[in-house]
Amino acid sequence: MAHHKTPLLDKITSLDVLRALPESQLQALAGEVRDEMISAVSQTGGHLGAGLGVVELTVALHHVFNTPEDRVIWDVGHQAYPHKILTGRRDRINTLRQTDGLSGFTKRSESEFDPFGAGHSSTSISAGYGMAVGRDLLRRNNHVIAVIGDGAMSAGMAYEAMNNAGADNSNLIVILNDNDMSIAQPVGALSSYLSNLITSKPYQSIRGIMKEVASRFPSEIEQTARRAHSLAKEIVGAQSLFSQLGFFHIGPVDGHDMSQLLPVLKNLRDGEVTGPILVHVVTEKGKGHPFSGPNHEKYHAVPKFDVITGEQIKPASNVPNYTSVFAQELIKKADADDKIVAITAAMPSGTGIDKFQKAHPRKSFDVGIAEQHAVTFAAGLATEGLKPFVAIYSTFLQRGYDQLVHDVAIQNLPVRFVIDRAGLVGADGATHGGVFDLAFLSCLPNMMIMCPSDEAELVHMMETAAHYEDGPSALRFPRGEGQGVLLPDEARALAIGKGRIVQDGSDVAILSLGTILDEAQKAATQLSAKGVSVTLADARFAKPFDKDMIAKLVQNHRALLIVEEGSPGGFSAHVLQYLANAGLLSSDCAIRVAPIADAYIDHDSRPGQLAKAGIDAPALVTHIEEMVAIKTPKKKSQE
């Protein structure tokens, strides 16, 4: 599988073997795990940076603690690839994010070593606190360890959990994996000494610890003393925040140095300190990655690449993706309109807001992993007459739903939600699938929802959103490339709630919402080859939808199929309600709906996911054939 030798890793057939290894070999083992992970991700693509940053920490945790009885919860799960390599999944690591392969996140059904499934961030402390309370109620005595990144600590939920666990004085270990801050060598050595001191003796106060540390320095080494003083202040600063929440604060500890990690973890295992503890571990995201040159998001997620050269293997394409078309249009709109502002929740490059940031730094806001705050912040901006565009992945917008209802929709504020990654998302699977937004938005009064069928439509819908002031609006589009159509020279605002007929036919009709029109067109082509004349309609708007157009489709065809890349309960459900109440569910026109199947669709290729969801072209053809009972003529070659 790889260009690297892994003599130590080859021996790790179980964690008993890992725990029996002498500590002197653990640093070398970590190096082998790092090579193995780089090799695997080079073949599959995936989240690279986060896992590379926690290799030593992963080895140390499994060496010191008795997992899976001791629970280790990896926040988000991006950082769990090394954990998967060590916990019996090494032979399948090159199936990461592939059809029927390992998940890109932790998953309870995949391994007993994954106590909690995590596709979204900042959940580990809440879940860990639940496990700790469960342990105490059931009178068990295992450890619970939540590993959370500094990015995930920007979410309110992490503090809600800490506040709760801290007040309860529960035995819970939180490891803050901080790859944002770097500490100079002497300071690092001092802080590790300090962490050891804190965890091995019952010091009651920070002042007592500082006195002990100060006494170790000859007074003439003024520079070191000054460094020690500033570090002490830094630690006391962080200490005061976490201690206010009821946590005992240890660190910073160098997360790549076994001689610092192991003593602290062993002290915690052996109960030298009890209650809620926060260990501040400093790591380098992407440590040891094979790429040259700097990168701000440090190889968070990468396509396949060559292990030797680090060259990324991207399929060549001249077709722009939906995200970049959105970003270009937003920049143009903001050039012409001072009131347009953009908001993202920690996903600037994923949503295209990084491009907007360069063009309009003062009008761009990244609020961190805080979707609830992002939505209400946008509502506040809208009250002052600004035009906020809130760019959030569909699956992450779920976290801001209460704010969307109360703070935006009930007050009818013109906040524009730009919903990226709407629909199925391939290798990221069910946790990132944006399949519920049509259902949870369509039920809100006054919500206007647009779904472009291609990138040219997206341009017109951006123009429509920019001028729409009657209330909240949403614009949803999928991950990935557009259809390859020409972009219009001039954007025009669309008539709200009006669809369009893409292709006229006389026999059956397909009503499609959004980019699934591509599959509907393939189905129409296959049906016309069988002599069935198909009308193809593009709804454009999920709400309000084009009642006149839909009534005509029912009145003029013998079958109507409604297709959407969203869960049951969305667009087609509302269309059916309208048809029923308008008395149009007559026997003259057979009507069926094809939303995504009522199931969580696992990671797969996009065609594979569409097939599992029952909305690819062959599935649509089958629906229509069944509705009109068309007999498919056998091919001569088969007779």
Contact 553, 508 (CB under 8 A): no
> Which pLDDT score, from 0 to 100, does residue 318 have?
78
> Which pLDDT score, from 0 to 100, does residue 526 have?
97
Q: What is the pLDDT of residues 444-455, one digit of tens each?
A: 999 999 999 999
Helical axes 55-64 vs 26-44, angle rounded to 10°: 130
Contact 392, 400 (CB under 8 A): yes
| pTM for the full predicted model | 0.84
> Which pLDDT score, from 0 to 100, does residue 631 have?
45
Which residues are 340's β-sheet partners?
Answer: 387
* More reliable by pLDDT, 313 or 269: 269
- Predicted confidence (pLDDT) at residue 97 exceeds the cutoff of 90: no
If you average pLDDT over residues 23-36, what whole number do you get? 94
> Distance between CA 559 and CA 554 in Å, rounded?
7
DSSP string, 156-195: HHHHHHHHHHHHHT--EEEEEEE-S----HHHHHHHHHHH
> Distance between CA 100 and CA 98 in Å, rounded?
6
> Which pLDDT score, from 0 to 100, does residue 237 have?
52
Residues 6+ apart with CB under 8 A from 217: 224, 225, 228
DSSP string, 57-97: HHHHHHHHS-TTTSEEEESTTGGGHHHHIIIIIGGGGGGTT
Q: Work out the burial of residue 502: count CB atoms within 10 Å of its CB; fewer than 13 is exposed, 13-18 middle, 19 or more buried.
A: middle
Residues 6+ apart with CB under 8 A from 571: 438, 442, 513, 539, 542, 543, 545, 562, 564, 595
3-state helix, strand, coil in the chain (%, to 5): 45, 15, 40
* Dihedral (Cα; 567, 573, 574, 576), 10-degree rounding: 160
* More reliable by pLDDT, 631 or 420: 420
> Distance between CA 18 and CA 554 in Å, rounded?
67
Contact 502, 537 (CB under 8 A): yes
> Which pLDDT score, from 0 to 100, does residue 42 have?
81
- Number of Cβ within 10 Å of residue 63's Cβ equals 22
- Sign for the CA dihedral angle at 544, 548, 549, 552 comes to positive
pLDDT band with cut points at 50, 70 and 90 for residue 38: confident
> Distance between CA 474 and CA 388 in Å, rounded?
12
> What are the C-alpha distances in Å from 525 to residues 518, 617, 632?
11, 10, 15
> Distance between CA 156 and CA 154 in Å, rounded?
7
> Which pLDDT score, from 0 to 100, does residue 210 have?
56
> Which pLDDT score, from 0 to 100, does residue 614 have?
97
- Residue 540's nearest CA partner among 497, 508, 476 is 497
If you average pLDDT over residues 175-197, what whole number do you get? 58
- Number of Cβ within 10 Å of residue 50's Cβ equals 27
Contact 119, 77 (CB under 8 A): yes
- Residue 414's nearest CA partner among 392, 393, 397, 389 is 389
Contact 449, 502 (CB under 8 A): no
If you average pLDDT over residues 367-377, what whole number do you get? 93
pLDDT band with cut points at 50, 70 and 90 for residue 435: very high
DSSP string, 201-236: S----HHHHHHHHHTTS-TT-HHHHHHHHHHHHHHH
Both structure tokens of 18:
């890992």
Long-range contacts of the stretch 200-206 (C-beta < 8 A, 24+): 200/263, 200/267, 200/272, 201/272, 206/235, 206/236, 206/239
> Which pLDDT score, from 0 to 100, does residue 3 have?
55
> Which pLDDT score, from 0 to 100, does residue 146 have?
96
* More reliable by pLDDT, 36 or 224: 36
* Dihedral (Cα; 305, 309, 311, 313), 10-degree rounding: -40
pLDDT band with cut points at 50, 70 and 90 for residue 391: very high
Contact 419, 389 (CB under 8 A): no
Residues 6+ apart with CB under 8 A from 421: 350, 393, 394, 395, 432, 434, 478, 479
If you average pLDDT over residues 403-412, what whole number do you get? 97
* More reliable by pLDDT, 233 or 19: 19
Give the catalytic positions in this structure: 285, 371, 399
pLDDT band with cut points at 50, 70 and 90 for residue 225: low
Contact 150, 176 (CB under 8 A): yes
Q: Is 312 helix (H, G, I), strand (E, B) or coil?
A: strand
- Predicted confidence (pLDDT) at residue 477 exceeds the cutoff of 70: yes
Q: Is 53 helix (H, G, I), strand (E, B) or coil?
A: helix
If you average pLDDT over residues 133-137, what whole number do you get? 95
> Distance between CA 310 and CA 207 in Å, rounded?
49
The chain-wide mean pLDDT, for the chain, equals 87
- Residue 542's nearest CA partner among 570, 503, 578, 507 is 570
Q: DSSP character for 635? A: P
For residue 389, how far is the Cα from the chain centroid? 20
Helix (H) / strand (E) containing 450: strand 448-450
- Predicted confidence (pLDDT) at residue 174 exceeds the cutoff of 70: yes
Looking at the chain, the whole-number percentage of residues with pLDDT higher than 90 is 66
Among the residue ranges 74-88, 166-180, 234-248, 344-358, the one predicted with the least confidence is 234-248
> Which pLDDT score, from 0 to 100, does residue 152 have?
85
- Predicted confidence (pLDDT) at residue 231 exceeds the cutoff of 60: no
> Which pLDDT score, from 0 to 100, does residue 95 have?
85
> Which pLDDT score, from 0 to 100, does residue 180 have?
64
Q: Which domains does the chain have, with CATH numbers?
A: 7-180+246-282 (3.40.50.970), 322-476 (3.40.50.970), 502-628 (3.40.50.920)
The full 3-state SS of 91-140, as one line of letters, equals HHHHHCCCCCCCCCCECCCCCCCCCCCECCCCCHHHHHHHHHHHHHHCCC
Contact 48, 38 (CB under 8 A): yes
